[in-house]
Amino acid sequence: MRLQSLSLTNFKNIASASLEFSPKVNCLLGDNGMGKSNLLDAIYFLSFTKSYTRVPDSMLIRRGETFGIVAARYNRNGIDEELTAGLRAGVRKSFKRGGKEYKRLSSHIGLFPAVMVAPADLELVTGASDERRRFVDMIISQSDPVYLDALIRYGQALEQRNRMLRDEIADATLYESVEMVMDAAASVIRSRRTAIVAELSEIFDRYYAGIAGDGERARLTFCPSGADHAALIDALEHARTRDRILHYTTVGPHRDDIEFMLNDMHVRRTASQGQTKTFTVALRFAQYDFLRRTTPVAPLLLLDDIFDKLDATRVERIIKLVARDDFGQIFITDTNRKHLDEIMEAIGSDYRMWSVCDGGFNPMTVHEKD
């Protein structure tokens, strides 16, 4: 899949921008806070119908303006496609493919896959378990609509059960009906999470070793919360009295976690800044590798300030990795021109580069192979 062009109006700090992209590498060079990451977030938004930063849609509209527009042209499996998203304060966003508005935004997920590598990925290691669940859910949802549907059904039933707990509903029959829905959805969620984390761990270990070098071994382990999925309905019934006191549901897939280990020790407790950054970059590269093999089109790879906190050796290894044919169209932001020039030299293919300042994008370099 190739993103051919992107047009933005009143998106974050970008008043107006229109860019035509290289099919291989696109570089955004500039100081922090100028709009580089915002452009990547616009691309992410078109893939997932929401911001990578998870802010409300109203906050994506440029300050002082009442609307925003994100529009793009893609080539997907040899067919030209158009996506348009309209944002207006106080109004539900409009999201269209080929001029036709989606009835359910969830049906868009996975059609235009993308992987973002960003400084906020540190939260995968240091943050709460919901960050790691979201990471796994995003991977599976882009390649498995059945899983996404189960995730939505489970979330709706969980919200209903928690509301009943807060309202101190005592009717056991009502709880049983909701818990049956949760149990059916949980069966799909738990089985897919178990399989995907195991598969992802093998891919991830290869990428981590490729960046860190020999002597460091990393792995992922799925840690389900409470009872096995086959017995969730029994666990929910058993926990009902406690949950009514606490006013929330204490067992189920919404409390699962993924354990991150480095040399058989927890990453969050023992890893250096460089090791942690290596860990998160390898996680995202493994995500890309998995999606490349399981989705109909190659994902876009969005690399936001990827080299921060890494020594020169690890930077060089990452550059060699992204230069491989495994990766399709790439978008990179950096404050360091040297890093970008080294990547271009290593890849030796088409690229375009822009200087970014105060939400403006000025073309610097266009290199097209004969």
The string of pLDDT tens digits covering residues 280-328 is 999 999 999 999 988 889 999 999 988 888 888 888 888 888 878 788 8
pLDDT surpassing 90 at residue 337: no
Contact 227, 199 (CB under 8 A): no
Q: Please report the DSSP string for 228-294 in residue order.
A: -GGGHHHHHHHTHHHHHHHTS--SSGGG-EEEEEETTEEHHHH--HHHHHHHHHHHHHHHHHHHHHH
Q: What is the DSSP letter of 349?
A: S
Distance CA 11, CA 175 (A): 44
Instruction: Give the residue among 246, 108, 251, 135 at the shortest CA–CA distance from 197.
Output: 135
Q: Please compute the mean of the pLDDT values over residues 24-38 and round it to a whole number.
A: 92
130 burial (CB, 10 Å; 0-12 / 13-18 / 19+) is middle
| Chain centre to alpha carbon of residue 204 | 16
Place of tokens 């200087």: 355
Q: What is the pLDDT of residue 324?
A: 80
Strands (E), 102-256: 114-117, 218-223
Distance CA 357, CA 33 (A): 9
pLDDT surpassing 90 at residue 213: no
Task: Give residues with Cβ within 8 angstroms of 238, minimum separation 6.
Answer: none
Distance CA 115, CA 133 (A): 16
Q: What is the pLDDT of residue 270?
A: 79
Instruction: Give the residue among 290, 294, 347, 292 at the shortest CA–CA distance from 318.
Output: 347
Q: What is the pLDDT of residue 369?
A: 57
Longest CA pairwise span in the chain (Å)? 73
Distance CA 286, CA 280 (A): 10
Contact 117, 304 (CB under 8 A): yes
Q: Please compute the mean of the pLDDT values over residues 66-79 and round it to a whole number.
A: 95
Distance CA 60, CA 74 (A): 22
| Among 144-158, 191-205, 309-323, the least confident range | 309-323
DSSP-assigned beta bridge partners for residue 357: 360
Instruction: Give the residue among 113, 117, 118, 105 at the shortest CA–CA distance from 138.
Output: 113
The token duo for 106 is 């969830």
* Cα–Cα–Cα angle for 322, 323, 329, rounded to 5 degrees: 70
The string of pLDDT tens digits covering residues 235-287 is 999 999 999 999 999 999 999 999 998 888 888 887 788 888 889 999 999 99
